[in-house]
Amino acid sequence: MGRRKGGNKGGVTPSSGQSSSSGTGSAPEVPAKMSVADPEGVDEILEERTESSNLDDPAEPLIGSDKTSADYYFDSYSHFGIHEEMLKDTVRTKTYQNVIYQNTFLFKDKVVLDVGAGTGILSLFCAKAGAKHVYAVECSLMADMAKEIVEANGYSNVITVLKGKVEEIVLPVSDVDIIISEWMGYFLLFENMLNTVLYARDKWLVKDGIVLPDIASLYLTAIEDADYKEDKIEFWNNVYGFNMSCIKKQAMLEPLVDTVDQNQIVTNCQLLKTMDISKMSIGDASFTAPFKLVAERNDYIHALVAYFDVSFTKCHKRTGFSTGPRSKATHWKQTVLYLEDVLTICQGEALVGSLSVEPNKKNPRDVDIVLKYSLNGQRCQVARTQQYRMR
């Protein structure tokens, strides 16, 4: 996943035969969101790092590999690099820190379960906030490092690191007062760690116990993205004079995780699904949600973009963060679903349809997405169903 190059931004008056857009149309107003707690002023710009493919295994097949995210999920979290990226995501880490430090009344003398503890940073925050005891569960080899980190910081008497799957470990206590976890994946649900949190909630959380965060919401919008679609998708039509469009079909099936410029947004942003983690059932992570995206300027639509917000509602003051294009960037970025059609849309016209989401049956850590959309506009009439798979 690299940085996107951007493209021609702003509003235009589309005309036939035009393949890109330009102009100075104003961006739509951002919907009201909760503020990111940031009392220490952590709005510094961090250097974004992109992964190099120079060391990729040349023997790894491009298409048809049987290896899925279930095979390498836990091993991938054994490497320090992914934890460095998450810890340096100040939107993510500082929000959790502020929720804990500014609401010590929630944690004082309470037993806490940290699901997917990683380096143990959330457990350390909880211990420092006065938790009676914290059980940090981590399945990857990072659990060994977490134990050393806990010892090095003098919290061995408060934090117990348990190595193993939440579904398989034996917790030394019968119940806990708080479950805290940073379970969110790309597109909110990729890697399916939410089900693990719900399992822990049902097994160990006391009545009236707290899950942090407790609210997660998935949103959808539409963007103009001619240049990047040309670079990532249409590229396969002619590769040094050869037709490789069979790979284009594969590229269209896989959503792109990348940072979207807010000026690319053409329509309103619509809420698809809100999940109350303290009350929802495991099956609620599979859903079909209708949408109606209304164009706020004349432009082209090349892709739909999904992002999510999370909220901590049990605090003195409701706190949370957004991963949307108009918010400070996070390591989750946004999820881009490229359309087979290039839609010409005029201001006030609506792209309508539905988005269906469910875990892949073969590998529940992957996500299957079915998008149905139609536009009956002045310059464009289309109806199509597309399928995607995040893996």
Reading the block at residue 266, the tokens are: 């053409």
296 to 85, 343, 381: CA distances (angstroms)? 35, 14, 18
Whether residues 228 and 354 share a domain: the answer is yes
**CA 223 to CA 300: how far, in whole Å?**
8
Q: What is the CATH number of the domain that holds 253?
A: 2.70.160.11
Whether residues 309 and 382 share a domain: the answer is yes
**CA 100 to CA 103: how far, in whole Å?**
5
Q: What is the CATH number of the domain that holds 90?
A: 3.40.50.150
Whether residues 175 and 220 share a domain: the answer is no
pLDDT tens across 302-335, in order? 999 999 999 999 999 999 999 999 999 999 999 9
Reading the block at residue 296, the tokens are: 């706020």
Residue 87 lies in a domain: yes
pLDDT band at 29 (very low <50, low <70, confident <90, very high): very low
Residue 199 lies in a domain: no
**Residue 70, pLDDT above cutoff 50:** no
State yes or no: cis peptide before 58, omega within 30 of 0: no
Examine the fold and report which residue of 140, 163, 182 is the final residue of a domain before the chain moves on.
182
Predicted pLDDT at 56: 43
**Residue 371, pLDDT above cutoff 70:** yes
User: Which residues does the annotation mark as catalytic?
Assistant: 182, 191
pTM of the model: 0.80
pLDDT tens across 246-273, in order? 999 888 999 999 999 999 999 999 999 9
Strands (E), the chain: 111-115, 133-138, 159-163, 176-181, 205-212, 215-223, 256-258, 270-276, 287-294, 299-312, 319-322, 334-345, 350-359, 367-376, 381-390
Whether residues 100 and 227 share a domain: the answer is no
**CA 225 to CA 21: how far, in whole Å?**
9
Residue 192 lies in a domain: no
Predicted pLDDT at 49: 36
Residue 130 lies in a domain: yes
Torsion angle of C-alpha atoms 202, 206, 208, 214, degrees rounded to 10: -50
Examine the fold and report which residue of 158, 182, 206 is the final residue of a domain before the chain moves on.
182
Residue 54 lies in a domain: no
Residue 240 lies in a domain: yes
How many other CB atoms are there within 10 angstroms of residue 206's CB atom? 13
Domain of 103 in residue numbering reads as: 75-182
Mean pLDDT lowest among 70-74, 81-85, 110-114: 70-74
Mean pLDDT of the chain: 84
304 to 146, 259, 307, 352: CA distances (angstroms)? 39, 13, 10, 12
Whether residues 222 and 358 share a domain: the answer is yes
Total domains in the chain come to: 2
**Residue 165, pLDDT above cutoff 80:** yes
Residue 57 lies in a domain: no
- If phi over 0 gives left and psi between -120 and 50 gives alpha, with beta otherwise, what is residue 187? left
Whether residues 230 and 178 share a domain: the answer is no
Burial class from Cβ neighbours inside 10 Å (0-12, 13-18, 19+) for residue 189 reads buried
* Composition of the chain by helix, strand, coil, percent to 5: 25, 30, 45
Residue 266 lies in a domain: yes
Whether residues 157 and 271 share a domain: the answer is no
Examine the fold and report which residue of 131, 160, 182 is the final residue of a domain before the chain moves on.
182
Predicted pLDDT at 65: 44
Contact 309, 219 (CB under 8 A): yes
177 to 93, 121, 161, 169: CA distances (angstroms)? 22, 19, 17, 18
Mean pLDDT to the nearest integer, 170-176: 97
pLDDT band at 22 (very low <50, low <70, confident <90, very high): very low
As a three-state string, the secondary structure of 175-231 is CEEEEEECCCECCECCCCCHHHHHHHHHHHEEEEEEEECCEEEEEEEEECCHHHHHH
Whether residues 168 and 238 share a domain: the answer is no
